[in-house]
Chain A
Amino acid sequence: QSALTQPASVSGSPGQSITISCTGSRGEIGPYNYVSWYQQYPGKPPKLIIYEVSNRPSGVSNRFSGSKSGNTASLTISGLQAEDEADYYCSSHTASSIWVFGGGTKLTVL
């Protein structure tokens, strides 16, 4: 059982927008802004796509955006493309000085 809760799967059609939620406790997400998101293709390592809740690393499409409200962080992908089909994981550095991950969300582009 993962420390952070994500939906197991989401789907959307090309051009649409989808949002993936990531819920933790107050000590895991709460007032901290150290939530990050990773994209993973089968057989590949995860790739950082969002850090500190809403920042994008250089080279990551601006179709990816992040936000947070209370104990829930969210990843939104707009203008869905076939290449976005992948697994997505949230992560947070917690009040206990450890890192926790969500269980992952499989995105299917219909």
Chain B
Amino acid sequence: QVRLQESGPGLVKPSQTLSLTCTVSGDSISSGGYYWSWIRQRPGKGLEWIGHIYYSGSSSSYPPLKSRVSMSVDTSKNQFSLRLSSVTAADTAVYYCARTSRYSYIFDFWGHGTMVTVSS
């Protein structure tokens, strides 16, 4: 069974950088058939795709966030990471990592999510 687990600070100050890591078990990030995505959900709101990374390091992100998003992958640890810079209260959300099929374009396995609050 594929499992994903998000980790990182639950509180970030405005203007600072939010950093999260997703640890994958039950599958290899290097397997090639999948992208590895970040999705967020603001309190009481819908889902928003942030971006994804491939094991090679190539990535894509949602245009409105693109200038603030960077992602990386560590295949030796089977982890991938998100950095979102210059955060504001509007970035307060539950952040999910998810496995994404490159062929069906679906998010088939999700982490439990981690709540990140942006506040001074």
Residues of chain A touching chain B, judged by Cβ–Cβ distance below 8 Å, are 2, 34, 36, 38, 44-48, 51-52, 57, 89, 91, 93, 96-104
Contact = CB atoms under 8 A, between A and B. Distances in A.
Interface in B96-120: 96, 104-108, 110-113
Given A98-B63, A101-B46, A91 B107 contact: yes
Contacts of B46: 2, 89, 101-104
Nearest to B48: A101
Given A36-B106, A46-B96, 17 more contacts: A34-B104, A36-B107, A45-B96, A46-B110, A47-B110, A48-B108, A51-B104, A52-B104, A89-B46, A91-B47, A96-B63, A98-B62, A99-B49, A101-B47, A103-B45, A103-B46, A104-B46
Given A97-B60, A98-B63, A99-B49, A45 B106 contact: no
Interface of B: 37, 45-49, 60, 62-63, 96, 104-108, 110-113
A93 B105 contact: yes
A101 B112 CA distance: 19
Contacts of B60: 97-98
Contacts of B111: 45
Nearest to B108: A48
B49 A101 contact: yes
Contacts of B96: 45-46
B97 to A, nearest CB: 10
A101 B48 CA distance: 7
A103 B46 CA distance: 5
A45 B113 contact: yes
Contacts of A2: 46
A38 B108 CA distance: 10
B47 A36 contact: no
